[in-house]
Structure 1
Amino acid sequence: MNTLPEIANRLTSLCNERKFVEAYTELYDDNAVSIDPNNNNEPITGLHNLIEREKQFLANVEIHDINVSDPIFAESYFSVILSMNFTVKGQERKTIEEVCVYKVENGKIISQQFFIG
């Protein structure tokens, strides 16, 4: 599996199954970069750092519902809309919707950027 549609569809499937760490391990390059508004849009670099951030997030939330749209494609990029209803420990339940943009090179995701409305 290393075509853009295969990678995008696998990511969508894993996310809808709430297998986020598995998605990073299987689909991301060792030097992948993530830009997230929840991190003040400061880039996080390296697969290990991305996995650790994801584990910290998952340890502090209860996910009630998640839905990842079918991907759309443009050259080496794909994008999905992620909707998630969750509760952060000690906070009220909330729903977010974000546009997620991914870049793929050599059969791996090398970057991701999230845009929250």
Structure 2
Amino acid sequence: MNTLSEIANRLASLCKELKFVEAYTELYADNAISIDPNNKNEPITGLENLIEYEKRFLANVEIHEVNVSDAIFAGSYFSLVFSMHFTIKGQGSKSVEEICVYKVENGKIVSQQFFIG
């Protein structure tokens, strides 16, 4: 699996199944970078760091629902609309909708950036 559409569809499928860590392990390059407004838009670099960041998030939430749109494509990029309803431990329920933009090189996701609406 290394076409842009295969990677996008696999990512969407894993996210819908709440398999976020598996998505990183399977689809991301070792040197991948993430820009996330929940991290003050400070880049997180390296697959191990991305996985640890995700594990910390998942340890502090109970996810109730996830929806992922079909992908749109442009060059080596694809984008998904991602919405999630979850409860943060000790803080209550929250819903988030974001546009996620991914860049793929050599069959792996090398960057992601999230824009929260």
- TM-score category by the smaller chain? over 0.9
- How far did residue 57 of structure 1 move? 0.4
- How far did residue 27 of structure 1 move? 0.1
Distance (whole Å) between structure 2 residues aligned to residue 17 and residue 71 of structure 1: 17
- How far did residue 32 of structure 1 move? 0.1
| Count of equivalent residues | 117
SS at match of 1:42: coil
Could you list the runs of 4 or more consecutive aligned residues of structure 1 that deviate by over 6 angstroms after TM superposition?
none
- How far did residue 94 of structure 1 move? 1.1
SS at match of 1:80: strand
- After superposition, the C-alpha distances for 1:14-58 in whole angstroms (9 at most, x for unaligned) are 000000000000000000000000000000000000000000000
Counterpart position of 1:58: 58
Counterpart position of 1:104: 104
SS at match of 2:112: strand
Q: Which ranges of structure 1 fall in alignment gaps of 5 or more residues? A: none
Q: What is the RMSD computed on CA atoms of the aligned residues?
A: 0.4
TM (norm. structure 1) is 0.99
Q: Which ranges of structure 2 fall in alignment gaps of 5 or more residues? A: none
Distance (whole Å) between structure 2 residues aligned to residue 17 and residue 54 of structure 1: 15
Counterpart position of 1:21: 21
- How far did residue 67 of structure 1 move? 0.5
SS at match of 1:38: helix
1:91 aligns with 2:87: no
Counterpart position of 1:9: 9
Q: What amino acid is the match of 2:66? A: I
Distance (whole Å) between structure 2 residues aligned to residue 60 and residue 82 of structure 1: 19
